[in-house]
Amino acid sequence: MKKTNASILVIDDQEDILFAAKMLLKKHFENIYTLTNPKNVVELLSKSTIDVVLLDMNYRIGFEDGREGLYLLKEIKTLSPKTIVILMTAFGKVETAVEGLKSGAFDYILKPWDNEKLLNLVRQAVSKSRKEQKKLIDVATTDDFFIGNSEAIKKAYLLADKVAITEANVLILGENGTGKFVLAHHIYLQSERKNNAFIPVDLGSLNANIFESELFGYAKGAFTDAKTDTPGRFELAENGTIFLDEIGNVPLHLQAKLLQVIQTKTITRLGESKARPLNVRIITATNLNLKQEVADKNFREDLYYRINTMEIVLPPLRERNEDKIPLAHYLLQKMMAKYGRDEIAFDEKSLEQIEKHAWNGNIREMENRIERAVILCENNHITVSDLDLEQITTYEDNPDDIQLSAIEKAAVEKMLLKNNNNISKTAEELGLSRGALYRRIEKYNISTN
């Protein structure tokens, strides 16, 4: 039997699970990696191309809510968008796995698994990964970077280009969805460090209990689950750039630890006393008014001045009226590539509404609405109804979840109708397994009669 040329990573804290998975998968796929310590996934992804990750959702004894798995899922999708993630969970924890599907997981499988089912699921995931890689290549050969023509955004990027060639720390300010990550990555690509690592960290979703171990690393035996010496995110970014997003959400007592690292340019792992020298460029971002946070005693003034050698403010989309239509066309091309569609266009009224809409959720909101429209539009024309802007006026806690269920339900219904309720064909066109499609049909109470 010829093996498929694919790299599979299995992450689980139980050695017997890893052994069983490796024995099964190595007969069918070229490269099988295993990790007992999920903290090492960032290092592995920075060095190797992984097609599929089988990810357990719980690691620490006494913590079985799946939060660690969901956090790791987000990290993997950020670091390697083309990597497909399959969640592994025990019976009775399905609700958390379903939450993982909303966050970008391909599917989930219950432990103990049926070998044939697992193999089929991994094969589907490898196929999906290949398609994602092709999309990324196709997008990379086109204009995959939108800036705009408004004076405010051009000023921001001009400043970014000037500071990129220096070693200065940069603070990026802006509302949610204005493109802070994109600007940080742009600065990295224009810098002398572009051939080394770019390590993004979402501090807003980082639990305070694991803040130090995630950022600074730890020595073997430093705490109960510390089975091996593990570098933190700062060490992984050595000679490169670390992007600390949502820095305004870091608690005061942890801000002091972050300040010490920046001041001394050293890192000390948990459980060690030896400081390690650090050569890292630091870019930070927040949607908060840090000057006001300093005045309110919520953010350390000394840390504020350490991180903002250069401050760049990204304007909200409502202040970039001349960029709305060009951005919409750019995002449309991006979504057409994502879904394998072509020759889709906005009708005149939809363009008028795009220009008039406030876009309080900024670029992220527009991307969400256009993705929905590409899925739903008929005859390759996007209408006002497809955009459905009247029902959305703002994004607050989690913009990515807004209207997600409605979009997903509409997409499933439309594809079922197109394929005369043929489950296999519909699942294939949606990029889902049959099981995943059945779960969505049940979830949304969709009739297949």
Q: What is the DSSP string of 12-74?
A: -S-HHHHHHHHHHHTTTEEEEEEES-GGGHHHHHHHS--SEEEEES--STT--SSHHHHHHHH
pLDDT score of 187 more than 90: yes
pLDDT in the model for residue 394: 39
The mean pLDDT of 286-296, rounded to a whole number, is 93
Q: What is the pLDDT of residue 317?
A: 95
Beta-carbon contacts of residue 340 (< 8 Å; ≥ 6 apart):
none
CA-closest candidate to residue 315, choices 202, 183, 162, 186: 183
Given a cut of 90, is residue 181 above it in pLDDT?
A: yes
Indicate the fold that domain 318-387 takes in CATH. Helicase, Ruva Protein; domain 3 (1.10.8)
CATH fold of 4-138: Rossmann fold (3.40.50)
What is the helix (H) or strand (E) element at residue 424, kind and residue range?
helix 423-430
Mean pLDDT rounded to a whole number for the chain: 85
Q: What is the mean pLDDT of residues 328-347?
A: 89
φ/ψ bin of 166: left (φ > 0), alpha (ψ from -120 to 50), beta (otherwise): beta
57: number of Cβ within 10 Å: 27
Give residue 138's Cα distance to chain centre. 20
Residue 36 · residue 58 · CB < 8 Å: no
Q: Flag the least confident range among 29-33, 121-125, 129-133, 355-359.
A: 129-133
For 437-441, what is the mean pLDDT? 75
* DSSP-based three-state secondary structure for 322: helix
Highest mean pLDDT among 28-42, 134-148, 425-439: 28-42
Please state the pTM of the whole predicted model: 0.63
How far the first Cα of the chain sits from its last, in Å, is 40
Give the per-residue pLDDT at 401: 45
The more confident residue out of 330 and 399 is 330
- Rounded mean pLDDT, 71-98: 80
pLDDT in tens, 203-258: 887 777 888 888 998 998 888 777 788 888 999 999 999 999 999 989 999 999 99
Residue 111 bridge partners (DSSP):
90
341 vs 235 pLDDT, higher one? 235
Q: Helix 404-418 and helix 434-443: axis angle, to 10°?
A: 120
CA distance 5 to 160: 41
Residue 35 near residue 228, CB atoms below 8 Å: no
Q: Are 180 and 220 in contact (CB under 8 A)?
A: no
Name the more confident of 279 and 390.
Answer: 279
Residues 40-67 have pLDDT tens digits of: 887 788 777 899 999 988 765 444 556 7
Domain borders along the chain are 4-138, 151-313, 318-387, 399-444
pLDDT of 150 above 50: yes
Q: Inform me whether the pLDDT recorded for 390 exceeds 70.
A: no
Helix (H/G/I), strand (E/B), else coil: 273? coil
* Dihedral angle of Cα 218, 223, 40, 100, to the nearest 10 degrees: -130
For the structural domain made of 399-444, what CATH number should be given?
Answer: 1.10.10
Q: How far apart are CA 58 and CA 68, in angstroms?
A: 6
Please give the Cα distance from 197 to 203 (Å, whole number).
18
Rounded CA gap, 42 and 78, in Å? 10
- The model's pLDDT over 391-433, given as tens digits with 9 standing for 90+, comes to 444 334 444 444 556 677 777 887 888 777 877 778 777 766 6
268-274 average pLDDT score: 91
Residue 86 is predicted with a pLDDT of 93
In this structure, of 194-208, 251-265, 373-387, 402-416, the range with the lowest mean pLDDT score is 402-416
Sequence-separated (6 or more) residues with CB below 8 Å from residue 153 = 147, 314, 315, 320, 323
pLDDT tops 80 at residue 102: no
Residue among 294, 213, 199 nearest 245 (CA):
199
Domain 151-313 has CATH 3.40.50.300: yes
Q: How much is the average pLDDT of 155-179?
A: 95
Mean pLDDT score, 336-346: 86
The mean pLDDT of 328-352, rounded to a whole number, is 89
Helix (H) or strand (E) holding 217: strand 217-218
Segment among 2-16, 134-148, 302-316 with least mean pLDDT:
134-148
3-state secondary structure of 310: strand
What pLDDT score does 397 carry?
A: 41
151-313 matches 4-138 in CATH topology: yes
**143 or 370: whose pLDDT is higher?**
370
